Amino acid sequence: MKKISIALVDDHVLFRKGLAAILKTFESIEIVHQASNGVELLEMLKNVEVDVVLLDLEMQGMDGMQTTKKLNEAFPEVKIIILSMYDDDHFIQHLMELGANGYLLKDTEPEEVILAVQSAYENGFYFNERVSKVVINGLIKKNKVKPVFRGNVKLSPRELEVLALICQEQTNVEIGEQLFLSSRTIEGYRNRLLEKTNTRNTAGLVVFALKNNLVEL
């Protein structure tokens, strides 16, 4: 079974090394890089890429917001999970809009960190209850981002079906088994959905579906 390769990015050395020590006890995880800011991380990824980055927000040199943007531009396949002290709706909402695949607080239990890493790697996103509420309240109820589905984006019944299953955190293989299609075909549907909805990643697809009342979380 392939281990999920991750990078830890945090300028607090004790926290970073402590987290690394905890994560190393999980057999499904392999820590490839440790960096103190986004500049160091981007240099490391030029040599060896990873599957998932656990990223702090407040850092000298290049902070988490800047790093998230740069990562999405240079390494779009890398999943980003924010691990921060800031339990603030504005931070969470902004990072999801920038293309983060998940957002956790630093007092999160290690088991949830592992769950988030696995979910982001396998499904493209991890929305816990806290993030889900921000997405719903910030993007739907307050209407800070205007929905664009009706009249602008046309999805076929099959695309809507695939989108609903993506929002249930199902993998391409699992969706294919349900719909009697190959995982490669499902990947094609996923890519078309990204293109049609003009979203960056699977997390963006979920936000799109919620904004336009296509699924219930």
CATH value at residue 105 = 3.40.50.2300
Q: Both 151 and 52 in a single domain? A: no
Give the largest Cα separation in the chain, rounded.
52
**Tens of pLDDT, residues 56-95:** 999 988 999 999 999 999 999 999 999 999 988 888 888 9
Asked whether the beta carbons of 139 and 145 are under 8 A apart, the reply is yes
Last residue of a domain, one of 138, 165, 187: 138
Q: Are residues 154 and 65 in the same domain?
A: no
Question: Domain boundary at 92, 117, 138, which?
Answer: 138
Q: Quick check: is 171 in a domain?
A: yes
pLDDT at 17 over 90: yes
On whether both 46 and 20 belong to a single domain, the answer is yes
Mean pLDDT over 202-216 rounds to: 81
- Both 150 and 167 in one domain: the answer is yes
- The parent domain of residue 161 ranges over 146-211
Q: Based on the domain organization, do 130 and 156 belong to the same domain?
A: no
Q: Give me the CATH number covering residue 156.
A: 1.10.10.10
**What pLDDT does 145 receive?**
47
Predicted pLDDT at 149: 43
Q: Percentage of residues in the chain with pLDDT exceeding 70?
A: 91
What is the DSSP secondary structure assignment for residue 93, as one 8-state letter? H
Q: For residues 30-44, give the mean pLDDT.
A: 96
State the total domains in the chain.
Answer: 2
- Would the pLDDT of 1 be above 60? yes
The pLDDT tens digits of the residues spanning 140-194 come to 555 544 444 444 678 899 999 999 999 888 889 999 999 999 989 999 999 999 8
